[in-house]
Structure 1
Amino acid sequence: MKGKNAFESGRRGQIGEMKGINAFEFGRRSRMGEMKGINALESGLRGQIGGMKGKNAFEFGRRGQIGGMKGINAFESGRRGQIGGMKGKNALEFGRRGQIGGMKGINAFEFGRHG
């Protein structure tokens, strides 16, 4: 693990390699392969993440399974959903209770909700 100001990293979780600044509660009850990010808050809370790269990632993969995710200001992505590959800016509530293969967009709001 490499980082600055890492707080409660790997709490009840398994982390392979983590690089970041201000990483807060990474891998809480989750398994992660590799994570790189800045200001990632509660990433992978009860979720499984393969490789995640992002800035200001908030509550990524909460109770969801994410393969590869790249984005800026993605909020509550993959909450209770399964996402293959997602790239976007300001993506809010992506894949909430839905299954998404590949999604790319800007300012996409509530995609794949209940479906």
Structure 2
Amino acid sequence: MCAIGFAKTRKAVIEKLGNVKFATLIDPSVIISKNVTIEEGAIICGGTIITIDITIGRHVLINLDCTVGHKAVLRDFVTLYPSVNIGGITEIGECTEIGTGTQII
């Protein structure tokens, strides 16, 4: 796994490593609804809620106490810092970093 917070740095390190298989880590306190796709290398921290029909890309880092609304897409290498709330039907592009406490409607 690669837990580097800065998205572009995390991507560069993983690309340098080449063909390596990464674990996906999900804290046991995370609430995940049905029909959620979580790709390799994702890290989802405690207190997070992932609602229905979500796509979480490769090596996404979701920090403590975040909420991701229905039909959201988080592309590869996205970083959500603590307490981010993302509303439904939202797409977050590759290597995007969303700062602590941000709310996206």
Q: TM-score when scaled to structure 1? A: 0.53
Give runs of aligned pairs for residues 62-73 of structure 1, distance below 5 A: 62-68=82-88, 69-73=90-94
Q: Which has the higher contact order (CA 8 A, sep 6+)?
A: 2
The structure that is helix-richer by fraction is 2
Match of 1:26 among 44, 54, 57: 44
2:102 paired with 1:81? yes
Task: Give the CA deviation at 1:80.
Answer: 1.1
Give runs of aligned pairs for residues 94-109 of structure 1, distance below 5 A: none
Structure 1 gaps, min length 5: 85-115
Q: TM-score when scaled to structure 2? A: 0.57
Structure 2 residue aligned with 1:14? 31
Task: Give the CA deviation at 1:13.
Answer: 1.1
Q: What is the number of equivalent residue pairs in this alignment?
A: 81
Letter in 2 for 1:26: I
Q: Percent identity?
A: 14
Structure 1 residue aligned with 2:62? 43
Structure 2 gaps, min length 5: 1-21
